[in-house]
Structure 1
């Protein structure tokens, strides 16, 4: 039952936002009473924390599976983007903004965990890219990994990138291209062009 509650809650939160969704709506969608949900989660804040953890671990698992394939680093980033978009395909609200505003402790904890995972993944990606002559050897790996994380979070800010002007997919694709063009060698640019044709 816990997984079912998390899955349904996740879909509703991504569609309508963390603040907008009520426990009544979740119960109604599940076809159970609110009491049933409270058996597993003592309040909405606890449920929001559990859902963000659930989403985080699901996406981390997906990233790990992709990294195990040892694709070339540019292809790997495109595969990760595609997987993340599949998980967030129903995201129509601004869940990150609502999480930050109404559940700041959960947001801060999630951001810290995302930072740690992304630093490890991106630094490995950059190092392999340099070895394969896809990325320039003189890039500062630590700086680029941090700026990549900051940019990926920045494009989720709808006050700067409103969904009426940019789709989520377009934003992620544009940012990925922007990132790769800044660090790629000629060989890397060719691979990037290749990936863009397939996107």
Structure 2
């Protein structure tokens, strides 16, 4: 039952937001008593933490499966971006931003795990792209990896990109293009343009 509660809570949090979903909402959605939920999770913060770890682990597993497909580095990045956006429901308000705002202690506790796994994934992609001749061989891998991760982590929660003007989908696509254009070779640019039908 504990795993079922975590899965359902994760789904509701992603769709409706961490702040909006109450323990009553979750109990009603699952057809169980609030007492059952509190038996496994003494408070909402504990449930938010368990659900967040579940979401991050699911994303990590999905990214690993994409990496095992042995796609070229640029296609791999596009697939990972699409997978993460689909997994996070293409939400209007970033779950990460909500977590940071309403549950800062939980955010801090899971952030180190997320940073480590995503940083490794990005760096792996950069090194792969260099070997394939798609990324410039002289790029500082660790620096570029950190800059890309930092940008992706902060841009969606920024007041500079209000939700009414910029969709999460648009922000993700433009930021990935910005990242790739900065590091691709001429060969890489040809591959990138296959994903930019309106590019001239």
TM-score of Structure 1 vs Structure 2, range by shorter chain = over 0.9
Displacement of 1:21: 1.6
Does the Cα contact within 8 Å between 1:15 and 1:93 map onto a contact in 2?
no
The match for 2:74 is 74
Instruction: Give SS of 1:42's match.
Output: coil
Distance 2:3 2:38 in 1: 14
Displacement of 1:183: 0.4
The match for 2:184 is 184
Q: How do residues 8-23 of structure 1 correspond to structure 2 at under 5 angstroms?
A: 8-23=8-23
Does the Cα contact within 8 Å between 2:90 and 2:169 map onto a contact in 1?
no
Gaps of 5+ in 2: none
The match for 2:3 is 3
Displacement of 1:34: 0.2
Instruction: Give SS of 1:195's match.
Output: coil
Displacement of 1:96: 2.2
1:156 aligns with 2:156: yes
Compute the TM-score of the two structures, normalised by the length of structure 2: 0.93
The match for 2:125 is 125
Q: How do residues 92-171 of structure 1 correspond to structure 2 at under 5 angstroms?
A: 92-171=92-171
The match for 1:195 is 195
Displacement of 1:90: 5.6
Displacement of 1:72: 0.4
Distance 2:168 2:7 in 1: 21
Gaps of 5+ in 1: none
Q: How do residues 26-65 of structure 1 correspond to structure 2 at under 5 angstroms?
A: 26-65=26-65
Does the Cα contact within 8 Å between 1:73 and 1:126 map onto a contact in 2?
yes
Deviations 1:110-167 (A, max 9, x none): 2211211112111111111111110111111010000010011122214222211111
Distance 1:128 1:146 in 2: 16
- Root mean square deviation, CA, Å: 1.6
Displacement of 1:7: 2.3
Runs of 4+ displaced beyond 6 Å: none
Distance 2:91 2:35 in 1: 27
Compute the TM-score of the two structures, normalised by the length of structure 1: 0.93
